[in-house]
């Protein structure tokens, strides 16, 4: 049987049916109904944050957050090239200019010192990305934000359920965006959310995601359509109940990989971060000086119907649409380029069988 890099977890079928049963009575399927409101409240409690606003996907949450900040057009937003293109597209589609800083080699997150060197009078925000569930240096970015009076907005697509010293990843920076795509640790089939403290953003974000409509005869703002449906929210309510079990199961897969692959020459595994409770979202492996290149390992696994992912490759700043920018091109961020050329994320999901983990490791090692 084909083993993909990830596989969506699902709640018990009967549980989901019970969760959506009332929709057949109300016929209220979207427009921020009961399930939508219940999920927002449940997520606020889980994340320990005053406000959560739901969206139909994480990318629209990103775009909307940047729009809500009212950043001046043409302003520069410093971010990482080691991310999914959604991060950079959200910047560009708001009329802003992405500026790419290099990463820290130990955890692949944006390097605050490299960011500091790129801050100019044109800089209007900093957008770090938590990578593979590993958190950025949140203390350093908080200090940068205060020193230069810049908003810090985290792309936390990979970091749902991650805490540092008991504090949720939602609580760092001015806002955090989560992706609830079907492949994530926690999902709503498709979906996303913004987590934040500022009370004034609640109405604005709801305006932006719902055409600016505030009543049957009132359109107060120029907005779009990014609402999460009731079915998506119902899936989220079910999956939130099993989240801790999901993370534990993923953790056992990670432990087995570590036992088989740790200490092998040329194989670099992601280490732990002090004080951070991980969500085991991904299992990245960097092949640097190994007997096979990353691409050779990829091909050997694919031949056995096992599909890892070159994630993130290519770098965002090496994409054709960004290469011509002043910080475009992988040569401008050599540390990120080094990792991107050598990384594979191996299959990781809650019900990945131990014998399949062993088979994957056998192919890599033998």
Domain CATH code at residue 352: 3.90.1150.10
User: What is the domain range of residue 353?
Assistant: 243-365
Domain boundary among 210, 241, 272: 241
Alpha carbon of residue 286 to chain centroid = 20
In a shared domain, residues 39 and 22: yes
Signed CA dihedral, 46, 272, 252, 356: sign only = positive
Q: Which of 236, 234, 290 is nearest to 261 (CA)?
A: 290
CA proximity to 16, closest of 184, 218, 239, 180:
239
Residues 6+ apart with CB under 8 A from 179: 57, 58, 59, 61, 157, 158, 191, 192
3-state SS assignment for residue 44: helix
Q: Tell me, yes or no, whether 232 and 287 share the same domain.
A: no
Answer for the pair 130, 159: CB distance below 8 angstroms, yes or no. Answer: yes
The answer to whether position 7 is within a domain reads no
Which pLDDT does position 1 carry in this prediction?
86
Confidence (pLDDT) at 188: 98
Residue-by-residue pLDDT tens, the chain, 366 positions? 899 999 999 999 999 999 999 999 999 999 999 999 999 999 999 999 999 999 999 999 999 999 999 999 999 999 999 999 999 999 999 999 999 999 999 999 999 999 999 999 999 999 999 999 999 999 999 999 999 999 999 999 999 999 999 999 999 999 999 999 999 999 999 999 999 999 999 999 999 999 999 988 999 999 999 999 999 999 999 999 999 999 999 999 999 999 999 999 999 999 899 999 999 999 999 999 999 999 999 999 999 999 999 999 999 999 999 999 999 999 999 999 999 999 999 999 999 999 999 999 999 999
Angle, CA of 7, 130 and 306, to the nearest 5°? 30
- Looking at the structure of the chain, the number of domains it has is 2
pTM of the model: 0.96
Which of 342, 335, 261, 358 minimizes the C-alpha distance to 81?
Answer: 335
Q: How far apart are the C-alpha atoms of 323 and 7, rounded to whole Å?
A: 33
For 197-263, strand residue ranges (E) read 213-215, 218-219
Q: Is residue 6 part of a domain?
A: no
| Dist CA 254 CA 341 (whole Å) | 23
> Is 3 inside any structural domain?
no
Has residue 2 been placed in a domain? no
189 and 313 co-located in one domain:
no
**CA angle (208 as vertex; 234, 73 as ends), nearest 5:** 135
Based on the domain organization, do 139 and 206 belong to the same domain?
yes
Residues 117 and 264 in one domain: no
Residues 29 and 35: their CA atoms lie apart, in Å, by 9
Judgement on whether residues 60 and 157 belong to the same structural domain of the protein: yes
pLDDT value at residue 279: 98
Kindly state whether residues 361 and 335 are assigned to the same domain. Answer: yes
Domain boundary among 202, 226, 241: 241
| DSSP at 62 | H
CA 260-290-130 angle, 5° bins: 70
Residues 329 and 182 in one domain: no
Same domain as 82, residue 153: yes
For residue 187, which phi and psi values (nearest 5 degrees)? -140, 160
The CB-based long-range contact list for 205-209 (8 Å cut-off, 24+ gap) reads 205/53, 205/64, 205/65, 205/68, 206/32, 206/53, 208/64, 208/67, 208/68, 209/53, 209/55, 209/60, 209/64
Q: Is residue 4 part of a domain?
A: no
Same-domain check for residues 80 and 229:
yes
pLDDT value of position 228:
98
* List of residues 6+ apart from 185 with CB closer than 8 A: 133, 160, 161, 243, 246, 247, 250, 279, 280, 281
Examine the fold and report which residue of 208, 241, 274 is the final residue of a domain before the chain moves on.
Answer: 241
**C-alpha–C-alpha distance, residues 348 and 254, integer Å:** 8
The verdict on residue 8 lying in a domain is no
**Residues 233, 259 share a domain:** no
CA 124 to each of CA 69, 102, 177, 269: distance values in angstroms, whole numbers, following the listed order = 10, 18, 18, 35
How far does CA 111 lie from the centroid of its chain?
18
């Amino acid at each position: 049987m084909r083993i993909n890099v990830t596989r969506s977890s699902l709640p018990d079928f009967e549980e989901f049916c019970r969760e959506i049963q009332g929709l057949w009575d109300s016929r209220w399927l979207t427009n921020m109904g009961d399930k939508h409101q219940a999920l927002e409240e449940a997520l606020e409690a889980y994340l320990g944050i005053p406000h959560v606003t739901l969206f139909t996907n994480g990318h629209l949450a990103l775009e909307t957050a940047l729009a809500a900040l009212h950043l001046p057009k043409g302003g520069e937003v410093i971010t990482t090239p080691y991310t999914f293109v959604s991060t950079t597209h959200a910047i560009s589609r708001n009329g802003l200019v992405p500026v790419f800083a290099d990463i820290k080699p130990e955890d692949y997150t944006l390097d605050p010192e490299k960011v500091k060197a790129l801050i100019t009078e044109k800089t209007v925000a900093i957008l770090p990305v938590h990578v593979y569930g590993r958190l950025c240096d949140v203390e350093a970015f908080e200090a940068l934000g205060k020193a230069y009076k810049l908003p810090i907005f985290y792309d936390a697509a990979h970091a749902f359920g991650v805490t540092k010293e008991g504090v949720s990843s939602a609580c760092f920076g001015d806002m955090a965006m989560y992706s609830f795509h079907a492949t994530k640790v926690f999902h709503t089939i498709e979906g996303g959310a913004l987590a934040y403290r500022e009370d004034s953003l609640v109405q604005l974000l709801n305006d932006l995601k719902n055409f600016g409509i505030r009543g049957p005869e009132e359109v107060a703002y120029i907005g779009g359509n990014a609402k999460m449906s009731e079915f998506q929210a119902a899936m989220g309510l079910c999956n939130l109940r099993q989240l801790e079990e999901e993370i534990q199961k993923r953790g056992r897969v990670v432990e087995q990989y570590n036992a088989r692959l740790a200490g092998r020459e040329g194989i670099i595994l992601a280490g732990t971060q002090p004080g951070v409770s991980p969500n085991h979202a991904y299992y990245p492996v960097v092949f640097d000086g190994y007997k096979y290149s990353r691409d050779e390992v990829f091909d050997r696994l694919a031949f056995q119907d096992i599909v890892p992912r070159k994630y993130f490759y290519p770098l965002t700043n090496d994409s054709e649409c960004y290469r011509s920018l002043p910080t475009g091109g992988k040569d401008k961020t050599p540390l990120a380029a080094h990792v991107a050329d050598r990384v594979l994320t191996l299959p990781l999901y809650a019900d990945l069988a131990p014998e399949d983990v062993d088979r994957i490791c056998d192919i890599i090692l033998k």
